[in-house]
Amino acid sequence: MRISGLHFLVLFIAVLSLSLTSLTACGGSPIITPPPSGVTISITAAPSSIGTGANYQFSATVTGSSNQDVSWSTSAGTIDSGGLFIAPATAATVTITAAAAADASKTAQTTITVQATDPMGTISSLTQLSSCSGSVPNATCYSMTVSCPGVADLSAYLKVNNPQNVPIGTVLLNTGTGGSGLYDDPNSGGYNFGSNVVQSLLLAAYNTVQISFGSPFNQDQKNGWLQGPGGVRRVACRYATVADWVYNHPQAINPDANVTSSKPMCATGNSGGSAAIAYAAFEYGLDSEFAMIEPTSGPVMSRVDLGCSPCSASVVGNVCANSNNVPNMCYLDPDAKIIDEAYKNVDATTPTPCSDGLHNSASAGLTAQLLSDSILYGGSTQNINMPNTILKQLLGDDDTSNAVPQATTWESQATPSPSSPSPRFACLAGVQHDLPNFPSAAQQIADDVIQYCH
């Protein structure tokens, strides 16, 4: 019997209807396969490695839909709805997943290696300069390019002085804020008695290496190593990379020295300079290279999250006894603006994460990022373990910034070499924030380094 096209269509509809009716009667639903959505998703380039507790802002691109929303997840650590990843406190290989809100079946993945310390940068374009600046004569000056993961390249400058006798070690000296200045040059961001420190160290047979990330050699790097974007912790790679280079290139520091490393290498720096040293010693793993460090008036970035919070929310009691110090961990407005620079492009006006937090307009994600960017990135439970490094801190009794509470908070959570003095910090009477501007403080800095740098 021949079935016409019309009869065949009627028969097909009847059979389909019967099938759907039977499926529904059995408690099921009609199975309908939707057409492909055409949505795709990709994660933008990410670093291959990151330090424990550090952060990275992930982003993703969705094509095939006007809905650009993404759902984030991670196999370890945390990641918020905006893609801000906070690495776990232990080393791991972490998988980050992004799913498109327009079609949750469309995902993208990337992996990131969480390592014990933050990744170091590299040095290139080493050039000896024709002249040097500063108060201490008979120096050799160099320029170099510092390249660090996730931040723009920056120029760094070294002023190297060698003792008359065979050197017994090398001491790094750097200034405050972003380190754009020479320690012995008060006309370029340095100190009135910085030259006294340098001369005393030279007489004691140490090489001295002053590090500048700008002035007086370069007027275009006004924010020094703190120039963003990238965040305070990530841009601190610049100082750490230069310090590591000095340690591993002793012949560039003293061509007459028959040595294979700059041992013992020690460092001192004031305020922001002390923070650079603290990041280098712990986050960047230079505890194995620093024999001794003396942060002065700091480190001021021990808890950036508390520094960038309203003053009433971050009061501590561990300040110099019988002093004129303030108990507040918070930054002053000018200091908050300096922290902001670590998150901005050159001459940009936004973002201003520290100023926002200081004036109580920070989100939970911003607070988490600022904590991650702190030297004490694990908060009040973080232990700064530096078994190879002797620690001594100097603070000004008349320092009315947040340097003293930030410094003593860090010291209380640090575990340095057992050879460190006890107590590990001293408060100097009649001394304000810029310690090397005071002759008694400058002499104390030199005496401490000479005593403990071995």
* Dihedral sign from CA coordinates of 164, 293, 435, 175: positive
309-351 pLDDT, tens per residue?
998 888 886 678 778 898 999 999 999 999 999 999 999 999 9
Closest CA to 159 of 206, 209, 216: 209
Q: Which domains does the chain have, with CATH numbers?
A: 40-115 (2.60.40.1080), 122-452 (3.40.50.1820)
The span from the CA of 437 to the CA of 292, in Å, is: 22
Locate 125 and state its tokens.
Answer: 């374009």
What does the pLDDT average to over 254-259? 74
Q: Is the pLDDT of residue 11 over 70?
A: no
Spatial neighbors of 4 by CB under 8 A, at least 6 apart, are none
Q: How many CB atoms lie within 10 A of CB 129?
A: 15
Spatial neighbors of 360 by CB under 8 A, at least 6 apart, are 310
397-422 pLDDT, tens per residue?
999 999 999 999 999 999 999 999 99
Q: Are 324 and 209 in contact (CB under 8 A)?
A: no
What does the pLDDT average to over 127-142? 96
Ranking 32-46, 146-160, 345-359 by mean pLDDT, the lowest is: 32-46
Residue 387, phi-psi category: left (phi > 0), alpha (psi -120 to 50), beta (remainder): alpha
Q: Are 125 and 180 in contact (CB under 8 A)?
A: no
Spatial neighbors of 444 by CB under 8 A, at least 6 apart, are 394, 426, 428
Band of pLDDT at residue 145, cut at 50, 70 and 90: very high
* Predicted pLDDT at 336: 97
Q: Is the pLDDT of residue 389 over 80?
A: yes
Render the burial of 193-209: b for 16+ CB within 10 Å, e for the rest.
Answer: bbbbbbbbbbebebbbb
The span from the CA of 427 to the CA of 370, in Å, is: 28
Q: Are 206 and 163 in contact (CB under 8 A)?
A: yes
* Predicted pLDDT at 35: 55
Q: Are 178 and 213 in contact (CB under 8 A)?
A: yes
Average pLDDT, the chain: 91
* Predicted pLDDT at 316: 80
27-67 pLDDT, tens per residue?
444 555 555 569 999 999 889 999 999 999 999 999 999 99
Locate 77 and state its tokens.
Answer: 């650590």
Residue 179, phi-psi category: left (phi > 0), alpha (psi -120 to 50), beta (remainder): left
Residue tagged 């340097």 (tokens): 403
Residue 127's DSSP bridge partners are 143
Residue tagged 């196999």 (tokens): 75
Q: Is the pLDDT of residue 423 over 70?
A: yes
Count of alpha carbons within 13 angstroms of residue 236, beta-carbon side: 30
